[in-house]
Amino acid sequence: MRDVIDGSLPDIAVRFSKFLADIWPHTALVIFTRECTGRPRKVSGDPSIVERVTITELDALRTQLAVDEVFDDHAVIAGSKRKVWALLDATGTLLLVVPKTRQRIRDVDLVGAAFGVVAVSIRLQVAQASPAYLAESRAASSERARTIVELTDLHAATLESILATLRSKDLDDHRSRITASETASTALVALRSAGESDRLLTEEAVTTAFARLQGELRPLLQHRPLVVDYVDPPADGRALPGEVAHAARAVVRSAVLAFAAQATLERIRIAWDCDGSNLLVEVRDDGAGGLDTDALVRQLSGRVHTLGGRIAVESVDGWGSRVAVAIPLDPPAVRPDEQQLGDLNPRELEVLGHLATGKRNKAIADSLGISESTVKFHVAGVLKKLGVGSRGEAGAIALEAGIRADSLR
């Protein structure tokens, strides 16, 4: 299990598949989690299954299961009815396995416990909201939304044409016209709901996001004699993109922990607001001031700048400290180089972060504990995937996206 969770998040299904190979022999494995707004499906195995399984199919299966309940039956997966095993963790994360043989399911408690570790690991990694994760997630979210819009428009036009033809008075078979009209209408409604389903997956109501923040802070502060004042965002505020909600909570957690480390502190005030275009976050304390603002800015700015936001940190002796963040709710127009950041694997993102600081290959190799030839290989991959011709151009893209070596830790 250590090998499973110690690695890049996008590949966690591949590692877990290897772990389960002897316990639950399978041809395909899917982990479905709403924690990951950009890539809610983590997959491994037969491409004809894992590349075709849809969020709608997974969500339909997930809603059938109770926590810790095992599904051992047939279900429509990747467009076909097939035998599957499925398990729902307490985090709401679904494990789906397409077994190799007709053998009976076994060692359910072991698999359930192991999957629980995987599900919590995913939640913790997403909660950290690193700049690399945010950049990759936003690129994936934008690409999926674009694809859904294209498919919706295409199929909607087709179905509307069918409906217009079937409703024509020139057709004689009244009964078949009614039946076909009902079928096409149902398909049209289902298609229109695809965009809504994706919106629900990739957005959080601002009040829900703020409530989740309070739940995350409670165990961190329960043993500290602090009064925490929460100023709720407006109930009618705009929904937050998943990446914005994750980043905002991560920023607040980091700021609160930095404030709480001060010797003399009695009260912290946390406020969220929306101005229509931005999520406005403010964390203020009544401490003695003198906080290391430069260090805190370095710690927080990677996440904020990745999403095109602004940050201000103030600390005045005798007057306390304040962190103010504004994060745009609408992503900027996606440039090709920004979209291509989602194609970089975790090691390439690390190398890119070092390129942003101007390091040469030897220095990067020393920092990452790998050979210089391996660095050269990764640099070549980064340049190719970003479509640039020099290290400087790649570094510039990294800086603009908020990806730096110190922000990836």
For the chain, the domains span 2-128, 131-202, 206-328, 339-408
Please provide the CATH number assigned to the domain covering 206-328: 3.30.565.10
pLDDT of residue 395: 84
CB 256 within 8 A of CB 217: yes
Distances (CA, A) of 33 to 36, 68, 91, 119: 6, 15, 9, 8
Q: CA torsion 282→283→288→294, rounded to 10°? A: -80
Q: CA torsion 128→133→137→140, rounded to 10°? A: -160
Q: Which of 95, 339, 327, 40 is nearest to 209 (CA)?
A: 327
Give me the mean pLDDT over the 37-60 stretch: 85
Considering the domain delimited by 2-128, tell me its CATH architecture. Answer: 2-Layer Sandwich (3.30)
Q: Is 140 exposed, middle or buried (0-12, 13-18, 19+ CB in 10 A)?
A: buried
Q: What would the pLDDT profile of 68-114 be if each residue is shown by its tens digit?
A: 888 999 999 988 899 999 999 998 899 999 998 777 888 899 999 99
Pairing status of strand 80-88 against strand 94-99: antiparallel
Give yes or no for residue 173 having a pLDDT over 90. Answer: no
Q: In the beta sheet, which residues pair with residue 267?
A: 227
Q: Which of 168, 200, 158 is nearest to 34 (CA)?
A: 200
Residue appearing with tokens 């479509």: 387
Q: Of the spans 29-43, 149-163, 281-295, 394-408, which averages the highest pLDDT?
A: 281-295
pTM above threshold 0.85: no
Cβ neighbours around 17 below 10 Å, total: 21
* Amino acid making up residue 74: H
Q: Would 206-328 and 339-408 be classified into the same CATH topology? A: no
CATH 2.40.50.140 assigned to domain 339-408? The reply is: no
| Weakest-pLDDT range from 171-185, 224-238, 273-287, 383-397 | 171-185
Give yes or no for residue 174 having a pLDDT over 80. Answer: no
Cα 352 → chain centroid = 21
Computed over every residue of the chain, the mean pLDDT equals: 81
Q: Which of 302, 271, 301, 298 is nearest to 285 (CA)?
A: 271
**Cα distance between residue 166 and residue 181, in whole Å:** 6
Give yes or no for residue 151 having a pLDDT over 80. Answer: no
Give me the mean pLDDT over the 149-162 stretch: 62
**Cα distance between residue 98 and residue 84, in whole Å:** 5
Q: What would the pLDDT profile of 50-69 be if each residue is shown by its tens digit?
A: 888 888 889 889 989 999 88
Give yes or no for residue 33 having a pLDDT over 80. Answer: yes
Give yes or no for residue 175 having a pLDDT over 80. Answer: no
Q: What would the pLDDT profile of 233-266 be if each residue is shown by its tens digit?
A: 998 888 888 888 888 988 898 888 888 888 788 8
Give me the mean pLDDT over the 346-363 stretch: 86
